[in-house]
Amino acid sequence: MGTQEPDERAGGTGRRALLGAAVLGAGGAVLGLSGTAAATGSGKGGGKGGGKSGGGVKSLPVPTIVGHRGASGYRPEHTLGSYQLALDMGAHIVEAGDLVPTKDGHLVCRHEPEIGGTTDVADHPEFADRKRTKSLDGTATTGWFTEDFTLAELKTLRAVERIPANRPHNTLYDGRWEIPTFEEVLRWQDEQTRSRGEQVWIYPELKHPTYFREQGLPTEERLAKLLRGHGKDKKNSPVIVQSFEPTSIQRMNKLVGNPLAVLLSGAGSRPWDFVRSGDPRTVADLITPEGLREIATYADGIGPDLGLVIPRDAAGRLTEPTTLVRDAHRAGLILHPYTLRNENPFLPAEFREGTDADAYGDVFGAYRAYFATGIDGIFTDQPDTGLLAREDFVNS
């Protein structure tokens, strides 16, 4: 889930205990989830389990807990370690991964094409001359970019924690995992499905598709080819494809049968594909009843910023919910908003606790507020906490 999120580097460096679980080793053994670790609880309006094979998105529990970039509250994001931990914690879906291409056309999993903040590339003198400044969706961005590396070169790098100021505990795992390709993720999904005896779901995102298409590296066709090659390109396939660019999802709708979702940033923002094509519409236009009905002609759901579900006031406190959930459901769309995190800087002001800027706040209170709006699921960096909050909600 994408670049359109607000700055995540605010706050101090305070350490905190993990909520709701004792996490052991690289994969992680999770304790104390009252049965939710196996994702067996039934939800309001939803089925049991992590989504039965062939059942499609309607087989997923409601509300659905999506491991945002894996279990990125506990491991460096978009690594097989993060994905594995999210699954071990019981996440119903793992967001594996944000897809960007290499110079030689492979799709790899990184939050952004710029990898200076998520890998140890700066420590590799052989790549010092690859550092440059580019315009990424209209923003001057300096660093190292995946499209300037071959896959073999990227495989010499190792992942690091993206927001160490907020998550110093994650830096323990810096250097442990390499950058995964999406093909490796698809094989991992199959292996985990076989070993667990239940379908594992993933939720990849196409990052900056217009930017890459203009560089001669179109990503939709590459993703469609991989999905077809692995037999995961059907309506009921356990792979939901998402993007912040509506025309990218429209293109995917013509290439594959997978469930699709349009990601939505702040109401006043414009998707970059709209900017490039001269389409004057903003996200505010897309979330009107008419705009949602149009999205429903080519997508199955939306991934709105949480502020589109419940806005915050000038003090950062939640106000009244909007009509987005009702309007989207009337259009036949599911809603999986992003992203709920345990740490104080990311929570609505009324749920922040203590004086440590990066301590955990009353995230369970925040979950209650969002679940009460009727959303179908939520992206979270801490899937174990999300599952406990979900259990509270469905049993209340």
Residue 54 clears pLDDT 70, i.e. is over it: no
Cα(390)–Cα(396) distance, integer angstroms: 10
Q: What amino acid occupies position 112?
A: E
User: Which of 170, 136, 31, 144 is closest to 88 using CA atoms?
Assistant: 31
Q: 95 pLDDT band (50/70/90 cuts)?
A: very high
pLDDT digits (tens, 9 = 90+) for 282-316: 999 999 999 999 999 999 999 999 999 999 999 99
What is the per-residue pLDDT for 51? 61
The tokens describing 371, both together, are 């679940």
Pairing of strands 334-335, 301-304: parallel
What phi and psi, each to the nearest 5 degrees, are found at residue 210?
Answer: -65, -45
Evaluate whether 216 touches 210 at the Cβ level (below 8 Å): no
In this predicted model, what pLDDT tens digit does every residue of 248-274 receive, in sequence order? 999 999 999 999 999 999 999 999 999
Q: In percent, how much of the chain has pLDDT > 90?
A: 84
Q: Is pLDDT above 60 for 47?
A: no
Q: For 72-81, 94-103, 262-271, 353-362, which range has the lowest pLDDT when averaged over its residues?
A: 353-362
The pTM of this model reads 0.89
pLDDT at 207 over 80: yes
